[in-house]
Amino acid sequence: MYQYTDHDRAFVQHRVEEFREQVKQFNNGKIDEDEFKQLRLRNGLYQQRHAHMLRVAIPYGVLSSRQLRQLAYIADKYDKGYGHFTTRQNIQYNWPELNDVPDILQDLAEVDMHAIQTSGNCIRNTTTDPLAGAVADEIEDPRPWCELIRQWSTLHPEFNWLPRKFKIAVTGSINDRAAVQVHDIGLRLTRNEHSELGFEVLVGGGLGRTPMIGSIVNAFLPAQHLLTYLNAILRVYNRLGRRDNLYKARIKILVNAMGIDAFKDAVDTEWNASKHHDDTFTTADIELLKAQFSNDLPTANTESSTETTHLNDADVPKQIHSNPFFNQWFKSNTREHKLSGRRIVFVSLKSSDAPAGDASATQMRAIADLADVYSFGEIRTTHEQNLVLPHVAMSQLYHLWSALKQNQLATANIGKLSDMIVCPGLDFCSLANAGTISIYDQINQRFDDIDYQHELGNISIKISGCMNACGHHHVGDIGILGVEKNGAEWYQLTLGGHAGNKAAIGSRLGKAIAKAQVADAVERILQTYLAHRDEAETFHDTVTRIGVDPFKENVYAAAA
Amino acid sequence: MPLLLKNNSYATDDWVHLSDDDALSQHATVSMKRFGSTEDARNTIKGVRIAPDDNPLDLVDFLVHLKLLVIEFPAFTDGRGYSHARTLRQQLNHTGEIRATGDIRAEQIAFMRRCGIDTFELNRVFDNDQVLLMSQPYPHSYQPSYMQ
């Protein structure tokens, strides 16, 4: 993974000292509320319902075990002993005190971490496929490009005061696990007919109040022009994006208003005038970055422990046949690795004991230790609020599973019903209209049978507490949106959303459903699916085939 | 209004900023709209004010005659002027003085300088604490600078 240079360290250190001074000036009344708000947001610090919330950057979802241990330390020292992994691969602390934040940032700086630009109207964390560098279906590892974008976007002097936040996602695989179609800029690594590397560039995707799938603004951008082209898009957005209405200020609104052709013309005009100036980079630059990521994994199929039992490296572990629980976990929580003899392992943060995506400091330390033993000290965060150990030896899987189980991290539910995406909701967030964690609990209680979940196959429930859609409800198989009606919490359901290659916005099912009725509604939806599905058809495919009406009929049938 | 210079010292601003109705005079600026719409203005005026929704490229034929460009920042959160400055330096190769005016906060000075802005018309003099922060720039940056 990327190793900070002395320059990088000095930069982050300066940021910490700058913010410490800004907090002091704010406390002394030298900086007003409005100004301090903008400064603290650009260091990830929100004011929330009960307390401040600090969002720490995990660039493109890559963490070292050392960093994860420090995140655990911070959770214990300054917070309530846990952290929350987010839908943009970052981590959030819900209870920091303002005057502790400079010290928290200093502790983060010790392990080459920061909270720069995780909020505010600027370029946010660039996210990517959590399986990058480990998975077989990859055209090119996206992470060196993410690191390039990270550096380009960090305190870019021109783009720190945009009309609104700006989110970039990159995928290097033919299967999009980074939701690039619902980002302000989505980048798909690709090769042309001459095998040259480039990007398909999407623009104007996003969720929130006006969900939209991104449009192709450039079908093949040669890779060496990545930064100059991004510059051109950002400059057009900075100049022309709406600033009169907070809810109409994202780039998707601009692209929609101009039309993709006119928008593309504007970008190309800007790009042609500037492509040989700013932000060019050399082949040597990118090759240096690539080398940092390709060193993560030994090329030989070596073991990382002194396991004496010799197995054929390509075999599945023998416990597959003898232990049905391990078998179940292997099926749902592990994925094929590009190297035979290794396996990608998901660490489920969706046990029913805690809110989705939360990990205690104890769990974080356990995962860090397991990463050292089993995964070359590397962990990934996913935008679905789970973690990944990317490079586990096949012969070590059973040991790892046993250890994960002891820490409530082995719920065999990745991609299944209880692997829900859940925003913090009314319990934490001052923007929310309704609680979400209680809905997650309600659904978990109703459907606690893991065998049934496996029987259902892959299905995604995504829950947002308000129209800002941080829970990505628009792109869930079942989307649940909290709304406020007459002072009570109600829930609007959508069906048929999808975040991957064939991205789609879900369709509204019908009238909002009362809080106590949500699990019932979900149960009826699942009954309808099981009644109609063709053999091993996924929920997504059944909905695509039969439409929303059969589900609607069943859900609202007994309402009278 | 205090005018902040390159070395963080202050001077007094001797340019006059004319409204769209004021009589034209020499050492003065007018809005870009007025500059573009009156030949008189183009013949007399040596300074132009660029509003956030103006396009600096419209000045391409006139830059050589202008002594001062003023980029307006009506709200400190309105970042359009940063792009204007960079376009002037990068695309139009302008080397004359570019000034920022409006709601400018101390921590924005370094960024504006890197976009190519030379001087700053402030609402008030920054106090010592703010100047201290301002005079300690980042040890390095990830993007090229257009500081003149």
pLDDT in tens, A181-224: 999 999 999 999 999 999 999 999 999 888 999 999 999 999 99
Which carries the bigger pLDDT value, residue A280 or residue A424? A424
Residue type, A422: V
Q: Taking 90 as the threshold, does the pLDDT of residue B14 lie above it?
A: no
Size of chain A in residues: 560
pLDDT in the model for residue B130: 79
Q: Pull the structure tokens for residue A274.
A: 């500037």
Neighbours of A510 (CB within 10 A): 16
- Inter-chain residue contact B129 with A7, CB threshold 8 Å: no
Alpha helices in B3-102 (DSSP H): 32-37, 39-44, 80-90
Burial class (CB in 10 A: 0-12, 13-18, 19+), B97: middle
Banded model confidence at residue A302, pLDDT cuts 50, 70, 90: very low
- Inter-chain residue contact A30 with B76, CB threshold 8 Å: no
pLDDT in the model for residue A558: 63
Q: Which residues pair with A302 in a beta bridge?
A: none
> A236: nearest CA in chain B?
B83
DSSP run (H or E) holding B68: strand B68-73
Phi (first) and psi of residue A327, to 5 degrees? -55, -45
Residues of chain A with C-beta less than 8 angstroms from the C-beta of B105: 35
Contacts of A507 (CB under 8 A, 6+ apart): A494, A495, A496, A548
- Inter-chain residue contact A158 with B142, CB threshold 8 Å: no
Q: Taking 60 as the threshold, does the pLDDT of residue A49 lie above it?
A: yes
Nearest to A160 among B79, B132, B140 (CB): B79
pLDDT in the model for residue A299: 59
Range among A266-280, B10-24, B90-104 with highest mean pLDDT value: B90-104
Residue type, B70: V
Q: Taking 80 as the threshold, does the pLDDT of residue A315 lie above it?
A: no
Residues of chain A with C-beta less than 8 angstroms from the C-beta of B76: 35, 38, 161
pLDDT in tens, B28-81: 999 999 999 999 899 899 999 999 999 999 999 999 999 999 999 999 999 999
Of A546, A480, A539, A552, nearest to A514 by C-alpha is A480
Nearest to B143 among A28, A157, A161 (CB): A157
Taking residues B129-143, what's their average pLDDT?
Answer: 82
pLDDT in the model for residue B136: 78
pLDDT in the model for residue A559: 53
Q: Taking 50 as the threshold, does the pLDDT of residue A306 lie above it?
A: no
| pTM of the predicted protein model | 0.95
Residues A428, A471 contacting (CB under 8 angstroms): no
Q: Taking 60 as the threshold, does the pLDDT of residue A304 lie above it?
A: no
Q: Taking 50 as the threshold, does the pLDDT of residue A310 lie above it?
A: no
CA distance A494 to A514: 15
Question: Testing the interface with B: which of A12, A26, A40, A239 to mutate, by most B Cβ within 10 A?
Answer: A239
Of A268, A230, A238, A270, nearest to A254 by C-alpha is A238
Percent of chain A, pLDDT > 70? 96
Residues of chain B with C-beta less than 8 angstroms from the C-beta of A277: 90-91
Q: Taking 50 as the threshold, does the pLDDT of residue A117 lie above it?
A: yes
Q: Taking 50 as the threshold, does the pLDDT of residue A254 lie above it?
A: yes
Nearest to B129 among A25, A152, A161 (CB): A25
- Inter-chain residue contact A155 with B141, CB threshold 8 Å: yes
> B54: nearest CA in chain A?
A239
Q: Pull the structure tokens for residue A76.
A: 């214990």
pLDDT in tens, A222-250: 999 999 999 999 999 999 999 999 999 99
pLDDT in tens, B85-110: 999 999 999 999 999 999 999 999 99
Share the mean pLDDT of chain B.
92
Q: Could you report the predicted ipTM of this complex, rounded to two decimals?
A: 0.97
Nearest CA to CA, how far is A72 from chain B (Å)?
29
- Does A274 contact chain B (CB < 8 Å)? yes
Which of the 8 DSSP states describes residue B126?
A: P
Nearest to B80 among A38, A238, A277 (CB): A238
Taking residues A496-522, what's their average pLDDT?
Answer: 94
Which carries the bigger pLDDT value, residue A474 or residue A284? A474
pLDDT in the model for residue A493: 97
Q: Taking 70 as the threshold, does the pLDDT of residue A303 lie above it?
A: no
CA-based radius of gyration for chain A: 23
User: Which residue has 């959770």 as its token pair?
Assistant: A75
Nearest CA to CA, how far is B117 from chain A (Å)?
11
pLDDT in tens, A333-362: 999 999 989 999 999 999 989 999 999 999
Q: Taking 80 as the threshold, does the pLDDT of residue A311 lie above it?
A: no
- Inter-chain residue contact B82 with A161, CB threshold 8 Å: yes
Of A72, A171, A154, nearest to A118 by C-alpha is A154
Question: Measured between alpha carbons, how far apart are the two ends of chain A, in Å?
Answer: 58
Banded model confidence at residue B120, pLDDT cuts 50, 70, 90: very high
User: Which residue has 């923007």 as its token pair?
Assistant: A431
- Inter-chain residue contact A152 with B142, CB threshold 8 Å: yes
- Inter-chain residue contact A7 with B139, CB threshold 8 Å: yes
Q: Taking 50 as the threshold, does the pLDDT of residue A560 lie above it?
A: no
